[in-house]
């Protein structure tokens, strides 16, 4: 069965108090919109249609960056959820499969729930749940297993407000039927809007069947404020950490580890406290990520040891058994098997060969103010402490640089490169200089 996702992402999100469209606020390093788009990734999707409005240009970019085959259409007026779904009509012209309507600010929908809605034996299927507090939710009015209608909270009678089964918002229906029924929706309600929820009553009146598939309250969690955004992120983190530990990863202090939506960590890896995984990180099995390290856009192979206090930036590619120590930053660099960068160094736009040792304080000087340049360091190289490598430069296999050197030219294999000024010693000069400075300080004190 072919499926279309219609994701409503046009709202401004006034309670967020932000210039950014609400659906682009991140949870676990990814916009809420991306979480919603991922909800249907295991289905037989033929179309993904995102309804944009406020901040449409930014929403379009985020949607297409995540799925270049998605279609983004514009809702120029905010006239309600039914009106928003109608904007997808042209994008789904000729499509006769089922359409599922999701919300771009509801990030925790599960594939299994959506599949259950597709499999339910009814023309219209609505997602329901039973919240702890029903106060602000629409109610699902049932007759046995059949759904008769949905009543918005503000339009509900006291008897209807006593119903505990509430509307989760997600709706599934054959696309042609959905648009046929939407054409009949009016706006005679407390908000003067075209409600998608009226679809159910219209379907039943026309002799079509409707039912409900239920899920947990957490799955329907919507985000409308910064506080709810933080709560949603915390909920994601709790679940993601538990899943990692279930999969064989050791988190020494789970509550202090921050994960992204796409973080991948292999079994038998140890993650120490206060580690942040930004987007695009893959850690293979048996690695150790030590405390207070920050990783994004990088790959650490089997047996790597990172940190403490290390930073791996996008393009850092570390082979097996690489060691990156305290206060080391690596960006857009490939580090071969067994190499070590253990202390206080910056390695950017570089290639480092097997079993090479990078001494403390080494810097690849990769930027000239306009262009980035590459440093190529071979196998079994020893880079002395406090070496400045002025890119572009190549250090041959087995070479060595003396501590404190400023290397501006290529170094041949097996050569020792020394590039520092000779030490000059002037007897007694330190004592004379201190005396001169103390006298100057005394004169300044008297004059003030």
Contacts of residue 322, defined as CB under 8 A and 6 or more positions apart, other chains included, come to: 300, 301, 304, 305, 335, 336, 337, 338, 339, 340, 341
- Distance (Å, whole) CA 323 – CA 339: 7
Show the tokens assigned to 109.
């929908």
Q: Is 437 exposed, middle or buried (0-12, 13-18, 19+ CB in 10 A)?
A: exposed
- Distance (Å, whole) CA 165 – CA 143: 12
C-alpha 398: how far from chain center: 41
- Distance (Å, whole) CA 144 – CA 120: 15
Catalytic annotation, residues? 343
Contacts of residue 403, defined as CB under 8 A and 6 or more positions apart, other chains included, come to: 359, 384, 385, 386, 387
Maximum CA extent, the chain:
105
- Distance (Å, whole) CA 279 – CA 276: 10
Residues 415, 420, 423: CA angle, nearest 5 degrees: 125
Give the strand pairing for 393-395 and 124-129. Answer: unpaired
């Amino acid at each position: 069965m072919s499926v279309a996702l219609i994701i409503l992402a046009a709202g401004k999100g006034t309670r967020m108090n932000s210039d950014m469209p609400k659906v682009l606020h991140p949870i676990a390093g990814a916009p809420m919109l991306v979480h919603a788009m991922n909800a249907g990734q295991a289905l037989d999707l033929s179309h993904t249609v995102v309804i944009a409005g406020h901040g449409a240009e930014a929403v379009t970019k985020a949607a297409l960056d995540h799925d270049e085959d998605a279609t983004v259409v514009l809702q120029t007026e905010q006239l309600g959820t039914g009106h928003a779904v109608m904007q997808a009509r042209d994008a789904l012209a000729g499509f006769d499969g089922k359409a599922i309507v999701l919300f771009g600010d509801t990030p925790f929908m599960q594939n299994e729930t959506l599949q259950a809605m597709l499999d339910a034996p009814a023309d219209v299927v609505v997602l329901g749940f039973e919240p702890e507090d029903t106060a602000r939710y629409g109610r699902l009015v049932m007759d046995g297993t059949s759904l008769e209608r949905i009543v918005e909270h503000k339009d509900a009678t006291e008897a209807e407000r006593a119903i505990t089964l509430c509307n989760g918002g997600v709706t599934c229906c054959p696309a042609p039927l959905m648009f046929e029924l939407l054409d009949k929706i009016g706006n005679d309600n407390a908000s003067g809007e075209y409600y998608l929820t009226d679809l159910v009553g219209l379907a039943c009146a026309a002799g079509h069947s409707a039912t409900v598939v239920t899920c947990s309250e957490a799955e329907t969690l919507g985000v409308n404020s910064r506080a709810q955004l933080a709560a949603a992120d915390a909920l994601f983190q709790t679940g993601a950490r538990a899943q990692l530990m279930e999969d064989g990863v050791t988190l020494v202090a789970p509550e202090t580890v921050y994960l992204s939506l796409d973080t991948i960590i292999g079994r038998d890896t140890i993650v120490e406290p206060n580690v942040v995984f930004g987007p695009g990180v893959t850690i293979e099995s048996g690695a150790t990520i030590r405390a207070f390290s920050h990783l994004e856009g990088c790959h650490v192979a089997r047996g790597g040891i990172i940190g403490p206090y290390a930073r791996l930036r996008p393009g850092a590619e570390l082979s097996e058994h690489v060691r990156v120590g305290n206060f080391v930053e690596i960006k857009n660099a490939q580090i071969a098997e067994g190499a070590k960068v253990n202390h206080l160094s910056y390695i950017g736009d570089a290639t480092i060969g097997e079993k090479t040792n990078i001494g403390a304080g080494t810097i690849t000087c990769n930027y000239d103010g306009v262009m980035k340049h590459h440093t190529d360091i071979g196998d079994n190289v020893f880079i002395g402490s406090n070496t400045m490598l002025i890119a572009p430069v190549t250090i041959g296999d087995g070479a060595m640089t003396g501590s404190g050197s400023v290397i501006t030219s290529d170094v041949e294999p097996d050569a020792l490169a020394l590039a520092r000024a000779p030490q000059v010693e002037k007897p007694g000069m330190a004592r004379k200089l201190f005396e001169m400075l103390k006298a100057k300080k005394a004169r300044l004190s008297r004059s003030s």
